[in-house]
Structure 1
Amino acid sequence: MRAAVFTDYGEPLDVREVEDPEPEPDGAVVAVEACGVCRSDWHAWQGDWEWRGLDPVPGHILGHEPAGHVVAVGSEVDHVREGDHVAIPFSLGDGTCPLCRKGHANICENRQALGLQPSAPGAFAEQVPVPHADHNLVHLPDGVSSVDMAGLGCRFMTAFHGLAHRADAGAGDWLAVHGCGGVGLSAVHIGDALGLNVVGVDLDDEKLALAEDLGADETLNAAGVEDVPGAVQNLIGRGADVSMDALGIAETCQNAVNSLGPMGSHIQIGLTTSEEHGQIPLPTDEMVTSEVDFHGALGMPPADYDEIFRMVATGKLDPASVVSGTIGLEDVSETLDAMTDFETVGIPVVDSF
Structure 2
Amino acid sequence: MKAMFYDAFGRTPTIETLPDPEPGEGGVVIEVGATGICRSDWHGWMGHDPDIGLPHVPGHELAGRIVAIGRDVRRFAIGDRVTVPFVSGCGRCGTCHSGNQQICPSQFQPGFTHWGSFAQYVALDFADTNLVALPDSVDDATAASLGCRFATSFRAVVDQARLKPGEWIAVHGCGGVGLSAIMIAAALGAHPIAIDLADDKLAFARECGAVATVNAADVPSVVEAVREITGGGAHVSIDALGHPTTCFNSIQNLRRRGRHVQIGLMVGDEATPRIPMAQVIGHELEIYGSHGMQAWRYDAMLAMLESGRIAPGALIGRRIALAEGIDALTGMGTSDAVGLSVITDLG
TM-score scaled by structure 1?
Answer: 0.96
Which amino acid is 1:242 matched to? V
The answer to whether the 8 A contact 1:7-1:14 is kept is no
Partner of 1:67: 63
1:130 to 2:127 alignment:
no
Partner of 2:331: 338
Q: State how far apart, in whole Å, the 2-side matches of 1:173 and 1:203 are.
A: 24
The answer to whether the 8 A contact 2:137-2:306 is kept is no
Shift of 1:229: 0.8
Partner of 1:327: 320
Which amino acid is 1:63 matched to? G
Q: State how far apart, in whole Å, the 2-side matches of 1:63 and 1:87 are.
A: 13
The answer to whether the 8 A contact 1:45-1:56 is kept is no
Partner of 2:311: 318
Q: Mean alpha-carbon deviation: is it higher for 65-74 or for 103-112? A: 103-112
1:298 to 2:291 alignment:
yes
- Deviation track 1:136-182 (CA, whole Å, cap 9, x = no partner) reads 11101122100111121100010000111111311100000000000
The answer to whether the 8 A contact 1:249-1:273 is kept is no
1:348 to 2:344 alignment:
no
Shift of 1:346: 1.7
Which amino acid is 1:319 matched to? P
Partner of 1:54: 51
Q: State how far apart, in whole Å, the 1-side matches of 2:228 and 2:136 are.
A: 45
The size of the alignment, in residue pairs, is: 346
The answer to whether the 8 A contact 1:322-1:347 is kept is yes
The answer to whether the 8 A contact 1:55-1:116 is kept is yes
Partner of 1:115: 111
The answer to whether the 8 A contact 1:44-1:56 is kept is no
Which amino acid is 1:73 matched to? I
Q: State how far apart, in whole Å, the 2-side matches of 1:7 and 1:230 are.
A: 46
Partner of 2:85: 89
The answer to whether the 8 A contact 2:171-2:240 is kept is yes
Partner of 1:170: 164
Shift of 1:338: 2.6
Q: State how far apart, in whole Å, the 1-side matches of 2:62 and 2:205 are.
A: 24
Aligned-residue CA RMSD (Å): 1.1
Q: State how far apart, in whole Å, the 2-side matches of 1:273 and 1:306 are.
A: 32
Gaps of 5+ in 1: none
- Deviation track 1:95-134 (CA, whole Å, cap 9, x = no partner) reads 11111111111111211222023xx110000000000111
Shift of 1:56: 4.0
The answer to whether the 8 A contact 1:335-1:344 is kept is no
Q: State how far apart, in whole Å, the 1-side matches of 2:6 and 2:218 are.
A: 37
Q: State how far apart, in whole Å, the 2-side matches of 1:98 and 1:350 are.
A: 36
Which amino acid is 1:300 matched to? M
Shift of 1:224: 4.3
Q: 1:282 aligns with which of 267, 275, 287?
A: 275
The answer to whether the 8 A contact 1:2-1:17 is kept is yes
Q: 1:256 aligns with which of 237, 250, 261?
A: 250
Q: State how far apart, in whole Å, the 1-side matches of 2:247 and 2:109 are.
A: 23
Identity in percent: 40
State the 4+ residue runs in structure 1 displaced beyond 6 angstroms.
none
Q: State how far apart, in whole Å, the 2-side matches of 1:328 and 1:130 are.
A: 22
Q: Mean alpha-carbon deviation: is it higher for 173-182 or for 306-315? A: 306-315
Partner of 1:102: 98
Q: State how far apart, in whole Å, the 2-side matches of 1:179 and 1:7 are.
A: 31
Q: State how far apart, in whole Å, the 2-side matches of 1:225 and 1:340 are.
A: 25
TM-score scaled by structure 2?
Answer: 0.97
Partner of 2:4: 4
Give runs of aligned pairs for residues 237-256 of structure 1, distance below 5 A.
237-256=231-250
Partner of 2:183: 189
Which amino acid is 2:109 matched to? A
Q: State how far apart, in whole Å, the 1-side matches of 2:273 and 2:51 are.
A: 19
Shift of 1:237: 2.2
SS in 2 for 1:285: helix
1:226 to 2:226 alignment:
no
Which amino acid is 1:285 matched to? A
